[in-house]
């Protein structure tokens, strides 16, 4: 099955955001984080990742900023609760990371991190930096920007990641 959304990847990116899968709205719009209730694009701008508020349809314009996008379930559509374990492809993501070697991969939910780390759904995960690395790539877990996860929203980890991103871009 074909990818629902194309990867936005290139060698040596500062930061790649990795979600679980395209939502129904994102699949229909053919754009990452396209649901108006999703805080992804607003958070990118508010935290200083982007110089202005981008629309979801401008997702390819992140590359010149050293930013990339991908998902763990490239051929699936739906909210996290609708996805099956078989929909996730952590080995494919590992191959992409090894090939492109971004400095940071930020998972846009604890669910995405657990799928990548092959962790149990009940396993505790803290937001922020994670201990494992893959080559030079470090990992970060963010609160989900999805409107469905609004009760867990906290911009503090997004701001911490933005500070690390700005350091990479400056240095």
- Name all domains of the chain by residue range, CATH numbers in brackets: 15-170 (3.40.470.10)
Q: Which has more pLDDT, 151 or 97?
A: 97
Q: How confident is the model at residue 152 (pLDDT cuts 50, 70, 90)?
A: confident
For residues 118, 111, 90 and 156, what is the CA-based torsion angle, rounded to 10 degrees? -110
pLDDT tens digit sequence for 51-86:
999 999 999 999 999 999 999 999 999 888 889 989
Q: What is the pLDDT of residue 114?
A: 93
pLDDT tens digit sequence for 6-58:
999 999 999 999 999 999 999 999 999 999 999 999 999 999 999 999 999 99
Q: Specify the range with the lowest mean pLDDT, choosing from 14-18, 19-23, 134-138, 146-150.
A: 146-150
Rounded CA separation 45/52 (Å)? 6
Q: Which has more pLDDT, 9 or 2?
A: 9
> Do the beta carbons of residue 104 and residue 41 sit within 8 Å?
no
Q: What is the mean pLDDT of the chain?
A: 94
């Amino acid at each position: 099955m074909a990818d629902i959304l194309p990867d936005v990847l290139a060698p040596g990116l500062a930061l790649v955001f990795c979600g679980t899968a395209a939502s129904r709205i994102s699949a229909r719009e053919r754009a990452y984080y396209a649901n108006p209730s999703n805080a992804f694009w607003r958070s990118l701008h508010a935290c200083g990742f982007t110089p202005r508020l981008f629309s979801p349809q401008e997702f390819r314009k992140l590359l010149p900023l050293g930013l990339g996008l991908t998902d763990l379930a490239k051929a699936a559509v739906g909210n996290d609760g609708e996805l099956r374990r078989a929909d996730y492809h952590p080995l494919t993501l590992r191959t992409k990371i090894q090939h492109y070697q971004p400095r940071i991969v930020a998972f846009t939910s604890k669910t995405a991190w657990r799928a990548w780390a092959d962790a149990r759904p009940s396993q505790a995960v803290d937001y922020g930096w994670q201990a494992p690395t893959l080559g030079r790539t470090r990992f970060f877990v963010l609160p989900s920007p999805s409107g469905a996860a609004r009760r867990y929203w906290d911009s503090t980890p997004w701001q911490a990641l933005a500070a690390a991103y700005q350091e990479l871009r400056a240095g």
